[in-house]
Amino acid sequence: MEIKIGAHVSISGGFIKALDREEKLGGNCGQVFVHSPRVWKFGKLSEKEARNFREEYNKRGWGPILVHSNYLINLATPKPDLFKRSVETLKEELRRAKMLGMEYVVFHPGSHTGSGEEKGIQSIIQGLNMVKEVIDDNTKLLLENTAGKGTSLGKNVDQLSQMFEKSKLTFDEAGVCIDTCHAFSAGYNIHTEKGLDDFVEEFDSKIGWDNVKAIHLNDSKYSQGSEKDEHAHIGEGKIGEQGMENIVNHPRIKEKPLILETPVDKEKGYRENIEKVADLMKN
């Protein structure tokens, strides 16, 4: 089985550059933003530019590519203006991903910021129903599990499964991206063999493992249950070397596209982390 692995790369200089960056890292799948993650506005994307990208992407013959959603989007917000803007932005990201032939848009379900879990989840479900109209077979929406920081929702399997059960989205239209750092920070002991098996099992029984379309493979700077969202180099965080070895060798995990969002600093970048994963897989 060929492992699919890649990283979140920049689109600076154009989308095709992102393909080159991915290959340079030794990647064969990946992730990009389609606009700046901390501003609402979008740059221009012509049909011609999109077509050129699609052709080039098809030629390379690898994938998938995920579009990571903007960080400002919050479908759980009680503020009507922010909710509306979030829905519109997520729709536009889906449209752009479709134009570019990218397979998934992944987003964090949102934070209720004080309105409570139940209302927050209701709001997310309403938002999902509104973006449904721009989803088609080629580009699906992925919900990402969160670390549970503050009032963020989607930190456990039950919350995610509610979002699917109660929204009108089908599993042909949507799925999940599991972030290993977030799951660990949210309290799952996925660094142990037993904990990891239990987690996969719970996911499979409540959402269906087939509906997990990608893994954000990250170590965590903070301890299990810390609810903090800070990624660490593979094997150097609190999940640790043994924990990451268990994760990358788990047959149900390594069958998914593995996408790194590890830090890029003076000592290490994605390339070193991708090599580290390859080393751990040999053990």
Residues that bind Zn ion (CB under 5 A): 179, 216, 229
* Cβ contact 152:145 at 8 Å: no
Q: Min. distance of Cβ 229 from Zn ion in angstroms?
A: 4
Quick one: 27 or 130, whose CB is closer to Zn ion? 27
Quick one: 99 or 144, whose CB is closer to Zn ion? 144
Q: Min. distance of Cβ 219 from Zn ion in angstroms?
A: 11
Q: Min. distance of Cβ 49 from Zn ion in angstroms?
A: 27
Q: Min. distance of Cβ 175 from Zn ion in angstroms?
A: 14
Quick one: 130 or 174, whose CB is closer to Zn ion? 174
* Cβ contact 15:267 at 8 Å: no
Residue in the shown chain whose Cβ atom is closest to Zn ion:
216
Name the DSSP letter for residue 133: G
Quick one: 66 or 99, whose CB is closer to Zn ion? 66
Quick one: 144 or 245, whose CB is closer to Zn ion? 144
* d(C-alpha 64, C-alpha 66), whole Å: 6
In 3D space, the residue among 86, 133, 130 whose CA is nearest the CA of residue 108 turns out to be 86
* Cβ contact 89:40 at 8 Å: yes
* Cβ contact 56:19 at 8 Å: yes
H-type alpha helices, 7-153: 15-24, 47-60, 80-100, 117-131
Which token pair is 237? 């965080």
Q: Min. distance of Cβ 273 from Zn ion in angstroms?
A: 14
